[in-house]
Structure formats: C-alpha cells, structure tokens
Amino acid sequence: QLTMSLNSSTLLNEENAQGAKRNTECLESLELQTPSSFQDNPLQQLQLASQEVLEKAKKSGRSKCPRCNSSRMFYCYTCFVPVETVPTKEIPTVKLPLKIDIIKHPNETDGKSTAVHAKLLAPEDVTIYKYPCIPEYEEKRHEVALIFPGPNSVSVQDIAFHLQKYTKKGVCASDDDCSREPLLKQAKIEPEEEKNPNECISNSRSKGTGLKKIIFIDSTWNQTNKIITDERLQGLLQIELKTRKTCFWRHQKGKPDTYLSTIEAIYYFLVDYHQEILKESYKGQYDNLLFFFSFMHSLIKDAKCCGGKE
C-alpha cells in the first residue's frame, strides 16, 4: 500500500536515448501482439479518459508549474497541480465514496511518490499530510480505517463486522456526527436512478459500514515503522489488500508483489469497497485514478522494450 513513483524526467531521458528508429520498431512489435498477451496486465482493461493531453505534454517536454514556476513534467509534485502544458480542464476528476488521508514520510522523495496522483485526480476527497503533522483520529475511530498489512489486519469484506465494536461504544464527536442517522434514513428514500453518477457516489458514503475515511501511508517499506507506531494511529481498524498484484515499475526488491504503490492501493481498495460494501456493480467509476499511473507505466515499459531489457 505504500509508494514510490516515477521520476518523469529520468524516464523521458531514458526513452529519448533509445532513438526514434528503435522506438518505432518497438511500438510496431507491441501492436502485433494479440489481446490475450495483455491479459496479465490489468491496466489494459481500464476505462480511462483520453490521454492525448499527456502525449502532447510528453512531446513538448518539461513545463512550468503555474504556482511555484518550477520546471516539471506533467504535474508539480509539490503544489499538486498540472503544469502549464497540461490544462486542468483536460484532466479527469474522480468523485470518491470516502475521504482519503495520505500520510507521507518526510524522507519520501516527492518526485517518486504516486500519492500526488490521487490529489490531482480527486482533489475534493484527498488530503496529503507530511509526517509528523497529522490529524488526531481517536474520536473518529468508529468511522476511520487504516490500510496497512499486519497480524491484526482484516479484509475489505470484514470491515462492517469489525467496525461495529467502535460504533456501538463510540460517542458523537460533533453535532454533524449526531445527525448522521436521520441523514441515513432520508438518503435511502431517494431513488438512485434519478441521480447523476457523482451524486450516487457521494451519497454512498451514507451506506453500509459508517466508514467515512481511509488512511494510507506513503513511504518506502523500510520507513513505515516510524509512522505506523505513532500513538495517533493506534487502535484504528487496519485493512489489508491481499489479492492484488502491483504493476509498479519501482517495486521494492524482496517484497511480495501484493505490496502496492499508493495510488494502486487506493484504486483497488475503492473497487473492492464498491463491490463488497456498497454492493454495487463496478463500471469503471474509479479507473481514472490510474490516469497518470497507466500512462507512465506504458512509457517505462516501451522504453525498457526498446532498450532490450524485456
């Protein structure tokens, strides 16, 4: 569930070094492969918005961040905004059924983190904190869970059962919390078929477990101990994703392939939550969370192919 991401400038330098001729040969060879050869790559099945804007930005090279004026590729990983050559209106926006807090290790390299993808694509629902500046979660334990593997971690399917112990003995932390039950009953009366997709996803927060927020830790696996042992995270329900395999190009050696990058963990959790907890069929509602990730995955795969590494 933790992350490192792609250094875009390094990637492009590597790709350009292969030469136009070899790049063309590589792409032609990929096009000749049958669809069955991509079955092991779930990224091929995503329902994504057009990535033409990223293709154009790749060709034009690095551009300025509109906020800090730093030279970046695709987006600024410190300001969490697209660069000047990537118009915000051409970047998809994803509405999430839960709020997400990402706790970033202070030593995690900003340019290698996929956490920024979540903030770029779901800005209203994602908040990134740099450790040790994180919220207090104790009074919200009945509606918050932490994605992290461990001996006490539970599966997504078991969230409702395990969260009950917090709900039953929890007290209202605010007036907003105390009014949650009437809102639940009112939401159930409204016919879902008359709402647009974003409204349905927003209202789905009221369904099922009472879960409102998910926490992800953004760091290398060797850096996680400092954060996971923080007293502010103790006592939270922990959830582990065990059935997904990473497609990350910077996967850490010696770790199982079920250890995902941050954006993969967010995406796969939401897909499972949508199906297992909300009990709704999944139709690609969160696929665009991998908008940048899938594009970069293709770039690095093509560059390695052309370099004779695959």
211-225: pLDDT as tens digits = 999 999 998 877 888
The mean pLDDT value of the chain amounts to 76
CA distance 29 to 18: 15
Count of Cβ atoms closer than 10 Å to residue 37 Cβ: 11
- What pTM was estimated for this model as a whole? 0.73
- Confidence band, pLDDT 50/70/90 cuts, at residue 37: very low
H or E segment and range at residue 130 = strand 126-130
Q: What phi and psi, each to the nearest 5 degrees, are found at residue 200?
A: -65, -45
Burial of 138 (0-12, 13-18, 19+ CB in 10 A): middle
Q: Cα angle vertex 3, ends 296, 66, to 5°?
A: 60
Is pLDDT of 177 > 90? Answer: no
- Confidence band, pLDDT 50/70/90 cuts, at residue 27: very low
Is pLDDT of 28 > 80? Answer: no
